[in-house]
Amino acid sequence: MTEKWSRAVLRGLGSRKAPRLPDTVRQFPVGQTHTGRANQYGPPLGFKTLIKPSKEAIQRHIAELRTVIQKNKGASQSKLIKELNAVIRGWTTYYRSVAATETFNHCRHVLYLQLRAWANFRHPNKSRQWIAHKYWHVDDGAGWIFKDQEGVSLWEHPQTHIQRHVKVRGTASPYDGNLLYWSKRLRTHIMFNGMLGKLLHKQKGKCRWCELLFQDGDRVEIDHILPRNLGGGEELRNKCVLHPHCHDQRHAQRANGTSDKGHTIEELDDAKVSCPVLQTSESGNTSA
């Protein structure tokens, strides 16, 4: 029974194709400063576990890019870029939480070779310099960018930044009501339906004035970006979340007529018809 069960697992639990292995999990020997631990207070293990995209996954992705390029040999550059961006964004987003920086750079280089072959096939009688200036913008100061004449550029693999997964605290729960903590982690949640939750999620858990992250236990206050007495409404885009002291600083600067970090503030004399400066009359006397 054990042998039959093992064969079934290798066949993908009865399927004809073997199960795909999207990731390669390996342990690498490292020094004391980078070693992993069984727990927070456990002894150093002497190695570090890294998860990378498997060779099979990389080969499948490169083959998919090749298929898209071959299918669009006679299509416009903008159409090719649109289809490639959909494939690249989806694949890199899936692997952005693992150690995939070297893999992304490798895939970018292979894609460049594929696109260069695509361009040479379309213009066999043109020079390499002519082809490079037609399909790549090399003089913009940002390197070789595959971009069409309308400004639509290719989304390269390294443009998807690696985002390490941060473990959830042991006592935290999505239903504990801690909006400050979960607004930094969750994209959608039922507790974000309220005004405070939506604003915290919109601002990514940061104060709009000092741009510092809210800490557990901090008091937060909701303020209007454009005051209601100046025509501001109650919609979400006209509200922000601030620390209490940042709230006071913001209103103090508004009262003094100083800048509010890019938002238009009414000057002290804008709403007044008469000028407070004394004017001289025709007879030379001052008028009140």
DSSP string, 244-280: HHHHHHHHHHHHHT--BTTB----TTTT-SS-SS-EE
Query: Across all residues in the chain, what is the average pLDDT?
Result: 78
- Asked if pLDDT for residue 149 goes beyond 90, the answer is no
Quote the pLDDT of residue 139: 66
Residue range 62-80: mean pLDDT, rounded: 95
Per-residue model confidence (pLDDT) at position 73: 92
Is the pLDDT score of 258 beyond 70? Answer: no
Q: What is the pTM of this model?
A: 0.59
- Asked whether residue 266 carries a pLDDT value surpassing 80, the answer given is no
**Cβ count within 10 A of residue 136:** 19
Name the pLDDT band for 33 (thresholds 50, 70, 90): confident
Residues 6+ apart with CB under 8 A from 95: 53, 57, 103
- How confident is the model at residue 190, as a pLDDT? 57
Is residue 221 packed enough to be buried (19+ CB in 10 Å), middle (13-18) or exposed (0-12)?
middle
More confident residue, 130 or 215: 130
Considering only CA atoms, which of 82, 104, 102 is closest in space to residue 93? 104
Q: Which residue has the higher pLDDT, 140 or 261?
A: 140
Report whether pLDDT(281) > 50: no
Mean pLDDT of 275-288: 42
pLDDT at site 8: 41
- In this prediction, residue 71 carries a pLDDT of 95
How far is Cα 120 from Cα 118, in angstroms, rounded to an integer? 6
Highest mean pLDDT among 19-33, 93-107, 265-279: 93-107
The class of domain 179-255 in CATH terms is mainly alpha
CB distance 189 to 172 below 8 Å = no
Query: Which part of the chain is CATH 1.10.30?
Result: 179-255
**Confidence band, pLDDT 50/70/90 cuts, at residue 192:** low
Tell me the mean pLDDT in the region 150-158: 91
Which amino acid is it at 17? K
Going by pLDDT thresholds of 50, 70 and 90, the confidence category of residue 251 is confident
As a whole number, mean pLDDT of residues 16-28 equals: 65
The mean per-residue pLDDT over the stretch 232-246 comes to: 87
